[in-house]
Structure 1
Amino acid sequence: MNYRISVLFRAIPVLMGAVSAALGGYVLAHASGPSARVAGLVLVFLSAICLCLFATAATIIRQLINRYTALDRIMYPVFGFAVSGVTIGYGLSLLTETPRPPPDFVAGHVVLGVGMICVCVSSVATASTRFVQITKNSALPEGSPPLSPAPFTPLTVRTLLALPALASLVTWAWAIVLLAGGGGGLPNGRFTAGHVMVGLALVCTCLIGLVASILRQIQNTYAPRDRVLWPPAAAALGAIGIVWGLIVIAVHTRPAQLACAYVLIGLGLICWSILSKVLLLALVWRRTAPLANRVPLIPVGTALLCLFLSTFLFESADPSVVVAARVLVGLGGICFSLFSIVSILESGTSGGDSDGPASKAGGTRPPDDSGRVPS
């Protein structure tokens, strides 16, 4: 990977997070009404997902350009989980404050769900700490035994798989409670928060497949059933979110219901952006995939769809959907951040050269299994 391109790919998630946070701050400072507070807080904390994606991008890229150190192996996952903790903590603080303004009921649940996604993305970053092993394993013959000693211990593998599974379970349970009429708040607030939490749960569930794919390829336990399981599952989860949102639009007419339906569609598009990563890993594993370099176009398309939908909602005559239009800008930024990640995966799994300054100088060899760069 070209060094300058590697800098760009690491900058994209940070820039998208800055755009989302800046728009959120502007909405909080200059717009009025309860919907403005909800949209502003959600936009600010959608940037947390972008920061966790940056941690993932940096973890993989620094391995590809031969600059990965033992400190990097610890620093980037810890950074991601720290961002996750702050996001979850702020969401809980919104839900437990007294007295609690009605907008904070919806914003608190959404920020909490965003924190759950951050946990899943941070698990991806942690699983990617031995990413270069995927290329080595992919060169082995089909049916080769699992690596011994394994890059990750069985406890580490179970923990990394359990984190996104637990985050998904909590988000699904919370969404079901809200849609069943529990959890407090006004009926409209429960309806909106419940449906958005469903979309966030779909994203968390989608990320389970990504973590599992990375871990199993690193451990050399990726089987044919994984190739036919995880990509269709991610595609189905995205379709569920989009179809669910369209059904809400078709059946309900109240403003709050319309707004959450459009956000649900945007979260379905994020699932399809994650699909690009899962699909790429499946395509290039021990086979030639001439169209693999076209896979990064998927998150580009979903990002454009989010932004186009946001534009149409801004231009609509119904001011009640402006909150969805604002949030879709942040969701589009996340989709474009995922374009950066899938492009990095395509470069890493294709066995491309690392032509950063260090390699041009004849300098460093790839890091060993302990994360240290040999001298």
Structure 2
Amino acid sequence: MNYKISVLFRAVPVLMGAVSAALGGYVLAHASGPSARVAGLVLIFLAAICACLFATAAAIIRQLIDRYTALDRLLYPVFAVAVGCIPTGYGLALLSGSPRPPPDFVAGHVLFGVGMVCVCVSCVATVSTRFLLIGENSALAEGAPPRSPAPFDPLTARALTALPVLAALATWVWAFVLLAGGGGGAAAGRFTAAHVMIGLALVCTCLIGLVASILRQIQNTYTPRERLLWPGSAAALGTVGIVWALIVISVHTRPAQLAAAYVLIGLGLICWSILSKVLLLALVWRRKAPLANRVPLIPVGTALLCLFLSAFLFESADPAVLVAARVLVGLGCICFSLFSIVSILESGTS
């Protein structure tokens, strides 16, 4: 990989995180109303996901340009974990506050879900510290035995697989508790928080497949069944989120439902952006895939869809969707950050 291009790919998630955080700060400083507080806080902390994606990008690129050190192997995973603790802690602090205003109720739940996504991305950054082994293993014949000694010991491998599973499970359970009427707060707040957390749980579930794909290719235990399983799961999860959102839009009875549904569409598009990474790994594993270099177009398309949808919502006369219009800008930034990651993967596996 060209060094200047490597700098550009590392800069993309940093710049996208800065755009999201800057817009969030602007909304908090200059907009009024409870929806502005929710949108501002969410936009600021969506930048944490971009920061974790930067750690992943940097860990892979430093290997590709032959500048990887023992410090890098430790630094980037630790950085991603530390960043992920910030939205989780802040979200729980908002939920434990007394009194707890309705905007803080919604924002607290969403920030907790964002923190769970960061946990999953930090696992991606950790498994990516042995990324170069994917190319070596892919060159081996089908049916070659697992690498010995294993790049990750059995306990570490199980932990890296279990952490995103636990993060997704915690988000799913909390979301359905809210849908069932638990968790306190007003009904409208529970509905909004639950549906956004469902979208974040879908993203966490997609990231399970990404962690598993990278880990098993590094360990040389990737199977033909997984070549279909993980891309198919990511595509299905993104579709579930978008279809669910469209159903909510078609039967909504309260304005707050519209905002939650449009954000859920954006999170479904993030699932499809993650699909591009899982699909690329599946396509190039021990086979030639002439169209693999087209896969990075998927997150570009999802980023544009998020931004177009945001623009249309800004033009809407319904103030209820303004919070969704703002948050979709941050979700578009994450999609474009994923374009950087999948481009790096394409370069590293080609």
Q: TM-score, normalised by structure 1?
A: 0.93
For the residue of structure 1 that corresponds to 2:145, the secondary structure is coil
CA distance in 2, matches of 1:130, 1:27: 40
User: The residue matched to 1:247 in structure 2 has which SS?
Assistant: helix
Aligned partners of 1:254, 1:177: CA distance in 2, in Å? 20
- Bigger radius of gyration: 1
Kindly report which structure 2 residues correspond to 1:32-43, keeping only aligned pairs within 5 A, or say none. Answer: 32-43=32-43
Cα deviations by residue, 1:144-167 (Å, 9 ceiling, x for unpaired): 010111111111110000110000
Indicate the SS of the match to 1:140: coil
Distance 1:196 1:87 in 2: 15
1:228 deviation in Å?
Answer: 1.1
Amino acid at match of 1:14: V
* Residue in structure 1 matched with residue 238 of structure 2 by the alignment: 238
Q: Would you say 1:172 and 2:172 are equivalent positions? A: yes
How far residue 255 of structure 1 moved from its aligned partner, in angstroms, is 1.1
Q: Which residue of 2 aligns with 1:225?
A: 225
User: How far has the Cα of 1:99 moved from its partner?
Assistant: 1.0
Distance 2:125 2:85 in 1: 15
1:233-259 Cα distance to aligned partner (Å, 9 max, x none): 000000000000000000114210000
Q: How does 1:93-108 map to 2 (within 5 A)?
A: 93-108=93-108
Match of 1:247 in 2: 247
Taking the aligned partners of 1:129 and 1:52, their CA distance within structure 2 comes to 14
Which residue number corresponds to residue 368 of structure 1? none
Q: 1:316 deviation in Å?
A: 0.7
Q: Find out whether 1:280 has 2:271 as its counterpart.
A: no
Hey, which of these two has a bigger chunk of helix by percent?
2
Question: Residue type matched to 1:282 in 2?
Answer: A
1:66: which partner in 2? 66
| 1:183-332 superposed matches below 5 A | 183-332=183-332
Alignment of 1:11-90 (within 5 A): 11-90=11-90
Q: Secondary structure in 1 aligned to 2:46?
A: helix
Question: How far did residue 105 of structure 1 move?
Answer: 0.1
- Residue 137 of structure 1 aligns with which residue? 137
**For residues 228 and 106 of structure 1, what CA distance do their matches in structure 2 show?**
36
- 1:360 corresponds to which residue? none
Distance 1:253 1:344 in 2: 44
SS of match in other structure, 2:221: coil
Q: Which has the higher contact order (CA 8 A, sep 6+)?
A: 1
Paired residue type of 2:336: F
* CA distance in structure 2 between the aligned counterparts of 1:228 and 1:28, rounded to whole angstroms: 44
Structure 2 stretches lacking a partner, 5+ long: none
Amino acid across the alignment from 2:49:
I
Deviations 1:91-143 (A, max 9, x none): 00000011111100000000000000000000000000000000000000001
| Offset from partner CA, 1:42-93 (integer Å, 9 cap, x none) | 0000000000000000000000000000000000000000011111000000
- Give the alignment's Cα RMSD to 1 decimal: 0.4
Deviations 1:208-253 (A, max 9, x none): 0000000000000000011010000000000000000000000114
Could you say what secondary structure the match of 1:49 adopts? helix
> Percent identity of the aligned residues?
83
After superposition, where does 1:319-358 map in structure 2 within 5 Å?
319-350=319-350
TM-score in terms of structure 2 length: 1.00
